[in-house]
Structure 1
Amino acid sequence: MQIQIYRTNSSSYQDSNFFKMEKEELESVPGVKYLKSLTEANESDPFVLISNTHTEPTELPLTLLDKTVLMIHPNSGHDNFPKTFVENVDFPIIVGNPIRSNAVAEYTLSSIFHKFTPIKNHSHWSSDRKWDRGLLRDQKVLILGYGEIGNLIYQSLLPLCSEVQVFDPFVKTSAKNVFNKLSDNLIKDKNIIIVAASLTKSSRSLIDQNFLKKISSSATIINAARGEIINEEDLINWMKKNEKSSAYLDVFNQEPFSPGYMLDMENVNKTSHIAGVYDYLNEDIVKFEKKIVSEFIQSHSKGEVEKFLDKNKNIVLTGKSINYL
C-alpha cells in the first residue's frame, strides 16, 4: 500500500525550504508519496492529510475525505475542528500537542519571572543591596487546563509557589490539586492566573468580569492559549481599575491586533502569538509527522492500528475525547 500525503494548509513561518524538508523526510518513509497538489494524486491510493489552524475541515472535498485513513494536525489548538466533523469521519485525527508544549510552558514561566524577579544590571556596586521583588513562595496560582502544557507548568511551579491549583472540567485524575468544578473558593484571592486550556464552548469568555472580581486585585494573568478564553473588554476595564494588576497576553480575540491596541496600559505586555515559536519548530513539526506516519504504516501492515491509537491516546482526537459541551 502506498500512502499519499497532502498538506491542506501552511503557516506564515513555513516557506519553500520547509516544504522541501517535509517532502524529503516524509518520502524517506517506505511507501509514502508527498503531493504538492491534488492533481498529482493516484485515485487508488489512500491519503494522510496534514492540517493546521487555517484548515476548514468541513470545506475539504468529500472525495478526499472518503480516501483518507489518517489526519495529522501538528498544532496544539484544535478549535477549528467542529464536533460533528470529528465524530463523523472514519479516520483518526492526531494532534501535535507535544511539539510546542515545552515552548509554551517556557513562555508562561518567563512571564512569571519577568513579573516577579526582573534582574537589573548594576553598573556599580549597590551599597544598600536592595532588590524590590516578590517571591513566588508567596504566590497562589490557578492554572486553567491540565493538558500537556498545563501539566508542565503545574510540575514546574509546584515546588516554588505556596499554592498551585488546577481547573479542568474534562480531566480524570486523583491529584488533590486538580478540580473539575470552578468554584468561588478555587478562584478567590489567586495572585497568578494561567490559561492553558483549549477553546471550547465552556471555556469561551471563561475569564470575565464575574471571574475577575474574585481574584486578587494585583493578580497577574498569563494567556498563551486562545484569546477568546478571556473577555478582553472585561479584562481591560478590570485592569484599568486595578493598576497593580498585570497581564502577559500572546493571543487575542482579533489577530493580528490593531496598531496601538492596549498601548496606553503599562500593566499589559503583548506579544504576537509567538509562545509556541522557536528556532527548530519546523524541524520538530516534520519529525513529529514522520514519527506518526511511520508508526501508522507499520501498525496498519500488522493489523495493529488499535495498538497505535492506544499508544497515542493522549493526542488522538475523536468524538469522545475532544472537549466539547
Structure 2
Amino acid sequence: MFTSKMASFAACAMVELKRSFTRRPMKASTTIKSKQLKLFRTHLSPYQKDNFVARERECLESHGFIYCDSIEQANVLITNTHTNLLEFDSEVLKSIELIIHPNSGYDNFDPGQVQALQSPIILGNKIRAKSVSNYVLSCIHHALTPPPYTKQWQAGRKWPRRSLQDLEIQLIGFGHIGKHLCEALSLLAKNVHIYDPYQNQHELKHQSDIIIFCCSLNQENMNMVDTAFLNKCKEDLILINPARGKLIQTSQLSDWLKSSHKSRAYLDVFESEPFDLDLMPENCFCTSHIAGVDSSLDQRIIDFVEEVSLDFSNLSQHDFTTKWSNATLSNKIHSERFI
C-alpha cells in the first residue's frame, strides 16, 4: 500500500512538472540580424555644402554600411528632385531594395514605375516642413506687419496695419507643412480654412484674405491657379506658394497682378527653373526655391537617411513598413496618379 501511494505521488509530481514546463514562456531572442546596406547617392543639390558627401559617408559608414561610388554596387539608392529613375537600367534597379528620397516633391518619379518597383521609396517630407512653414510666416509678416522702426520717438504712437486676427486664411494642402501652419495660424487668425480632398478636407474659400499652397503636385491640381481662379479672389489677396511651381499658371498670375495693384504674391517656385524673375510685376515678391533651405538642412538630410537606413537594416519588414507607411510613395498613388 505504501508503495502504491509513493507511485501515485510520483505520477502526480511528474504531471505537475510537465505543466510547469508547459506554462513557462520561451525566452524571446533579442538578437536582430542586420541587413548589409550598400548605399549610392544619385545627385546633389546646389545648396548642399562642399563637405556634405564626406559627412554623409562618415555617418553611414560608422554603422557598418558601405557608401558606394556607382549604382551597380548598391542595394539602396539616395535620390533627390533631379533623379529620374527611367534613366537607370531596369536590370540594375531590380537589385535595389530601398530608395530613400530626402525631399518633399516627387513629381520627378513615374507612378507606373513606382508601382512596378519591388523596393519602397521613402519620402523626406518632414525634413523641410518647419523651414517652409517659417518661410510662409515671414511672407505674411512682410505683407502685413513690417514694424515701423524709427530713430525718433513718435508721440502719436500710430501703426495702421491689417491684423491677422481680422483675416481669413485658406490652406491648400494638409500634410506636414499644412498642419504646422494650421497650428500656428489658428492661434492668430480669424479663421483658417483647409482644402485637401485626399484628407477629406473640402473647404475652399476663394474670398479668403490669404491663400497658401502647401500641397504636392498632381494631375488634379496642376495649373490650379489661373485667371478664372484669381477672378474669384479678393482684390487685396495675399497669395503664397512655396510648394510646386506648376500649381500656378505664372503668366496669368502676372497679368492679374498688374491689374490688381492691392494684391501681393509671394513665389518661391516656378513652372520652369531657373526662372527670369524680372518678368514678374512689382507686387510679386520672388525667391529662388529656398523656402526649405536653412543652415541646418544638410544635417537634417543626413539624420533622415541615417534613420531610414538603420530601420531598414534592423527592423522586421512588417515593422519597417508600418513605421514608414505615411512616407512611402507607393501609398500616394490613386487611380494610377500621385496624390
State if a TM-score over 0.5 links the two structures: yes
5+ long unaligned stretches in structure 1: 173-177
Q: Are the equivalent residues in 2 in contact too, given 1:48–1:71 (CA < 8 A)?
A: yes
Residue of structure 1 in register with 2:61 after alignment? 27
What is the distance in 2 between the residues matched to 1:203 and 1:259?
23
Residue of structure 1 in register with 2:319 after alignment? 307
1:314: how far off? 1.6
What is the distance in 2 between the residues matched to 1:68 and 1:296?
13
1:234: how far off? 1.5
1:15: how far off? 4.4
2:88 to 47, 54, 60: 60
1:259: how far off? 5.5
Residue of structure 1 in register with 2:16 after alignment? none
- Helix, strand or coil: the match of 2:53? helix
1:279 to 295, 313, 319: 295
Residue of structure 2 in register with 1:175 after alignment? none
Q: Are the equivalent residues in 2 in contact too, given 1:4–1:35 (CA < 8 A)?
A: yes
What is the distance in 2 between the residues matched to 1:320 and 1:229?
18
Q: Deviations over 1:232-265 (max 9, x none)?
A: 1221111111100001110111211126221xx2
What is the distance in 2 between the residues matched to 1:320 and 1:221?
26
Change (3 A) 1:16 1:127: closer
Q: Are the equivalent residues in 2 in contact too, given 1:87–1:319 (CA < 8 A)?
A: no
Residue of structure 2 in register with 1:145 after alignment? 173
Q: Deviations over 1:82-108 (max 9, x none)?
A: 110111101111000110000001000
What is the distance in 2 between the residues matched to 1:8 and 1:188?
41
Residue of structure 2 in register with 1:111 after alignment? 139
1:127: how far off? 1.4
For this pair of structures, how many residues does the alignment match? 303
What is the distance in 2 between the residues matched to 1:189 and 1:17?
47
Residue of structure 2 in register with 1:206 after alignment? 224
The residue type equivalent to 2:338 in the other structure is Y
Is 1:251 the counterpart of 2:269 in the alignment? yes
5+ long unaligned stretches in structure 2: 1-34
TM-score norm. by structure 2 comes to 0.86
- Helix, strand or coil: the match of 1:187? coil
What is the distance in 1 between the residues matched to 2:94 and 2:268?
37
TM-score norm. by structure 1 comes to 0.89
Give the number of the structure whose residues are more often helix, by fraction. Answer: 2
What is the distance in 1 between the residues matched to 2:324 and 2:48?
26
Residue of structure 2 in register with 1:267 after alignment? 283
Residue pairs, 1:54-93, within 5 angstroms: 54-93=82-121
Q: Are the equivalent residues in 2 in contact too, given 1:187–1:214 (CA < 8 A)?
A: no
Residue of structure 1 in register with 2:248 after alignment? 230
Q: Are the equivalent residues in 2 in contact too, given 1:143–1:193 (CA < 8 A)?
A: yes
What is the distance in 2 between the residues matched to 1:118 and 1:16?
36
1:153: how far off? 0.7
Change (3 A) 1:128 1:198: same
